[in-house]
Amino acid sequence: MKLVVRNGEARRASRPGASRSSGLNGGLPLDSILQGDCIAELSRLPAHSVDLVFADPPYNLQLQGELKRPDDSRVDAVDDAWDKFESFQAYDAFTRAWLLAVRRVLKPTGTLWVIGSYHNIFRVGAMLQDLDFWILNDIVWRKTNPMPNFRGRRFTNAHETLIWAARDPGGKGYTFNYEAMKAANEDVQMRSDWLFPICSGHERLKDDDGHKVHPTQKPEALIARILLASSKPGDVVLDPFLGSGTTAAVAKRLGRHFVGIERDSTYAEAARARIDAVQPLPDAALASAPSAREAPRIAFASLIERGLIAPGTMLTDAKSRYRALVRADGTLSLETAPGLGTVGSIHRAGALAQGLDACNGWTFWHLETGEGLRPIDSLRAVVRSEMAMAAE
């Protein structure tokens, strides 16, 4: 299948003379690169049609002259025309325009990611709030291999900042794959500081002369985490500043649709070649981790009914400080103070034992087995697995 671009419009064609609407979804040119100005191209897209936007806009670095190393060699810094603005006011006007255009095409449940440096990210953040986006997180991308500060007059700029925002105030209904992110982080809640190297090695696109195709190419691992965290297979991901095509390439590999906008023909051609070489992962590798909120509710009593726990069994916490007796009706009787003799649910018994207002009894109470203590939640997982198999 070949990508065809004509006069700023992109479509996919499986053969010469294919229909102009090929690849379109309600007017949305799926899996295409639109070549042209991002604001103009965004205005042509259907409203409320995109699930996720990743934007890597110009940073307005305001470089003054060449940047050199102590040995007087030139640093390959970002001095391209697309990163230069006459003033902060001009940059703010540009930022406001593309943010408004993005907000129009986002679904009500959609979210936006914007990446930047200290040169621009605070101005972008203020503009987001002025336009009624709802900021969910700011993420710090810590670079394992940042460019050093050659003049030795400032700290090394070792990070960039990403802002994650919902389209509307209150930010309800957006996608966040919490369980997947937790599982990817050794079963601990993922933090807002992420450690990745800058793009280098075989991943960095080079031209025939060995020069970088794009000066600010982002690492695929960074984009993959964003897409895995805040989108689902089949979602539409838009990048209004596509550059060398990282967002589109990762989206294709992860089973998401993409729409990219890029005004520079050299970048766009490099992106097309890169995307065409990507092989999507099999569906089995893309299945979303089940959400605890979506999982079927299981009563503790059902574990007794299924013979997974017998009445009279003694439960304890992970450190064996508190004990509770399992009763036939699915309640627990506390055998240790505080709360000695109190009968209640696994949650109430756990809270009383610790002197707390609330407790997740599934993770607090443990069962002694031949392999040591196991949380009773592991038995709930057995029941859910049996229910899933029965439903197939």
Residue 162: count of CB within 10 angstroms of its CB: 21
Residue 315: count of CB within 10 angstroms of its CB: 24
The per-residue pLDDT for range 192-207, each reduced to its tens digit, is 999 999 877 888 877 8
Contact residues for 277 (Cβ-Cβ < 8 A; gap 6+): none
Task: Report the CATH fold assignment for 32-64+75-285.
Answer: Rossmann fold (3.40.50)
Contact criterion met (CB below 8 Å) for 377 and 362: yes
Helix axes 220-230, 246-253, angle to 10 degrees: 50
d(CA 191, CA 297): 28
Q: Would you kindly state where each structural domain of the chain is located, as residue ranges? A: 32-64+75-285, 300-390
The per-residue pLDDT for range 266-310, each reduced to its tens digit, is 989 999 999 999 999 998 888 776 666 666 788 999 999 999 999
| Stated pTM of the model | 0.70
The per-residue pLDDT for range 132-184, each reduced to its tens digit, is 999 999 999 999 988 787 777 889 989 999 999 999 998 889 999 998 998 88
d(CA 373, CA 391): 31
Residues, the chain? 392
Q: Kindly write down the DSSP assignment for every residue of 253-320, as one continuous string.
A: HTT-EEEEEE--HHHHHHHHHHHHT--PPPGGGTPPPPPTTTSPP--HHHHHHTTSS-TTPEEE-TTS
